[in-house]
Structure 1
Amino acid sequence: MADPAVLKQLRETLQGLETKGFRRRPVLPMGIHAIDTRLANGGFRLDALHEIAAGTADLADDCAATLFMAGIAARAWGPVLWVVRRHDLFAPGVSQSGLSAGRLIYAEAADDAEMLAIMEEGLRHRGLGAVIGEAKRADMTATRRLQLAAEGGRTIALLMMRHIRETSDPLRLPSAAITRWRVTSAPSTPLPGTVPGVGRARWMLDLVRQKGGEPFSQLVEACDETGRCALPAALVDRSVAPGRANLRAA
C-alpha cells in the first residue's frame, strides 16, 4: 500500500499547479504519417494508458525507451509527473528530448504498488499533461485502475515496464493499456559524405498491441529537442510502391 503521507504531499503539490491556458487535445499525433495512419486513433489518446518497454535489457535500449516516453510527454500540454523507483533518470538527456526540467515534478516510490498509487493520484488530479511511471510488474487490475483514472481527462499515462531478467518479456502479462510498445536501438544515422562520427540516433518502434488496430514496426530517428521523431531520410525519399502505405512524414 502507498504511504498516506506520500499521497498527501503529492496532493498538496498538485493543488498548487497553475493549469490555465494550456491547449488540451483528445489525441497527440506522432507527426509521422507512416505511424499516425496506422494508429487506431491517429495518435496517442491523451485520456489513456500506454505501455513502453525496452526491446532488450541492454542499457542502450532502456535509454531509448526512456527518451521515447520523454518525447511524448514533451509534446503534451502541461506539467509532467514522473514517478521513479531508482535514481537513474538523467535530466540533461530528458531535456534533449524536449522535456525541460521546469515542467517536471519528480516523485520517488518505494515499490511498484506505491508507484502505481501515485500515478493514479496524478491522473485523477486532471491538472497534469502527462504522468509517467516505471514498474517491473503491473497486472491487469493495476493497469485497469490507471486506464480508468485517465479516462475523461487529458492526462496521458505512460508506464515503462522494466526487464526483471535479461530473458524476461516485460509485456508478457495482459494489460488494459490502449497501446503497448517496444523500443530498440538501431544503427545511428550516417553523417553526410566522408565526415566521421555518429549521427542522429535511430530506434525501431514495435507496436505490439493496440486497441482497435493492428501491430506494426517502424524505424525512426530519435526525438529531437522538440520531442519529435522523424523518418530516416532514405524512407522519406523512397517512392511508394503499389499497395504500400505512404512513408512520408506529415
Structure 2
Amino acid sequence: MSAVREHVISDLRARISSLESPAVKKLGCLEFGVPEIDGVLPGGGLAYGALHEFAGGGAGTVDGAAAALFAAGIAARTKGPIVWCLTRPDLFFPALAQVGLHPDRVIFVESDKEEDVLANMEEGLAHGGLGAVVGELVRLPMTASRRLQLAAERTGTLALVVRRWRRQTEANDFGQPTASTTRWRVSVLPSEELAVPGVGRARWLLELMRVKAGECAEFCVGACDDKGRIDLSTGSADGSHSASRSIHSG
C-alpha cells in the first residue's frame, strides 16, 4: 500500500470515528487474538454494539454450517447468556460445544416466520445483559438491519446474523446492502495435515467482504477451538500465503 493511500485511509477512519457517538466509542471490541485479522478491523476487533453478518461459501453456501460455527465461536467468547433465534431447529449441539459454546448458555427461540426471528432478535438486543444475539435468516432487508444495528448500539450487545439459504439462487441476496458493520463469508478448506493417519483441525477461508471504515481481506485460519478461538493457518489449500489484504475498501 502506498504512503499516500495509507494516509487517505487513516484520515477517513479518523473522520468516521469523530462522527460516532461517545456511547458507541466506549463499547469497545471483541478481539480475535490474531494480529493480522484484528489489524484490519477498526478498533482492533469485532465491534460490540454492532451488527455482523456471516454466510457460507463454496460447497457450504446453502447450509452455512461453517458460518454458524464461526458465529458460535464468537458468541462463546462473550460474557452472559446467548439468545439464538431460528426457524429450523437443526443445530447440532455437540458441534456448538466443540467451538466453545455450551448449550446451557444458549436460549433457543424458535419461530415459524423470519419476521418473527427479526422481532425476537430486536427484543433480545433491547433487553441488554446478553453476550450476543444470534439470528438465522434468509433475507436481511436494509430497514430490518438498521433496526438491529440501532438496538445493538443501545445496549452494547453483539448482533450476529447467520445467512442460511434453502437454495443456491437465494444466496444472491448476500450482495444486497445492509447496515451491518462487518460481513464475512466462511468456506471450508481441507483440514490440517497430521504426521500420523487421522483428521486434523478443520480449516476455513475467512473472507471479510465488508467492514465500515476498513479494508476487505481474506485469511486462511484454523477453525474455532473449544474456547471459540481461531488462529492463522500455516498456508492455504493451494500453498499460497495464509493471509492477504485486498485493494478494495469496505
SS at match of 1:105: strand
1:188 lines up with 2:191 in the alignment: yes
What is the CA-CA distance between 1:169 and the residue it aligns to?
2.5
Contact 1:69–1:158 at 8 Å: present in 2 too? yes
Counterpart residue number, 1:108? 110
CA distance in 1, matches of 2:44, 2:129: 24
Give the residue type in structure 1 aligned to 2:216.
P
Residue 131 of structure 1 and its aligned partner are, at CA, apart by 0.2
Instruction: Name the CA shift for 1:169/1:158 in 2 (closer, same or farther; >3 Å).
Output: same
- 1:76-116 Cα offsets, whole Å, 9 max, x none, are 11100001111210111001100111211010011110000
Q: Does 1:219 align with 2:217?
A: no
Report the counterpart of residue 209 of structure 2 in structure 1: 208
2:105 and 2:133 mapped to 1: Cα distance? Answer: 12
Q: Percent identity?
A: 49
Structure 2 equivalent of residue 197 of structure 1: 198
Q: Secondary structure at the match of 1:69?
A: helix
Distance in 2 separating the partners of 1:165 and 1:96: 27
Report the alpha carbon displacement of residue 155 of structure 1 after superposing the two structures with TM: 1.0
State the alpha-carbon separation in 1 of the partners of residues 33 and 117 from structure 2.
Answer: 30
Give 1:157's aligned residue: 159
The amino acid across from 1:98 in the alignment is G
Greater fraction helix: 2
CA contact (8 A) 1:162 1:170 kept: no
Displacement of 1:60 in angstroms is 9.1
What one-letter code is carried by the residue in structure 1 that aligns with 2:151? A
How far apart are residue 127 of structure 1 and its match? Answer: 1.6
Write out aligned runs for 1:1-250 (5 A). Answer: 26-56=28-58, 58=60, 62-167=64-169, 168-192=171-195, 195-233=196-234
Residue 6 of structure 1 is matched in structure 2 by none
**Conserved 8 A contact 2:64-2:163:** no
Structure 1 residue ranges without an equivalent (≥5): 1-23, 246-250
User: What is the TM-score with the length of structure 1 in the denominator?
Assistant: 0.80
- Unpaired runs of 5+ in structure 2? 1-25, 246-250
Indicate conservation of the 8 Å contact 2:56/2:186, yes or no: yes
Query: Is the Cα–Cα contact under 8 Å of residues 61 and 184 in structure 1 kept in the other structure?
Result: no
CA separation in 2, counterparts of 1:205 and 1:58?
13
SS in 2 for 1:110: coil
Letter in 2 for 1:228: R
Q: Secondary structure at the match of 2:150?
A: helix
For 2:69 and 2:122, the matched residues in 1 are separated by 22
Confirm or deny: 8 A CA contact 1:51 1:160 kept in the other structure: yes
Q: Compute the TM-score of the two structures, normalised by the length of structure 2.
A: 0.80
- Report deviation, 1:138: 1.2
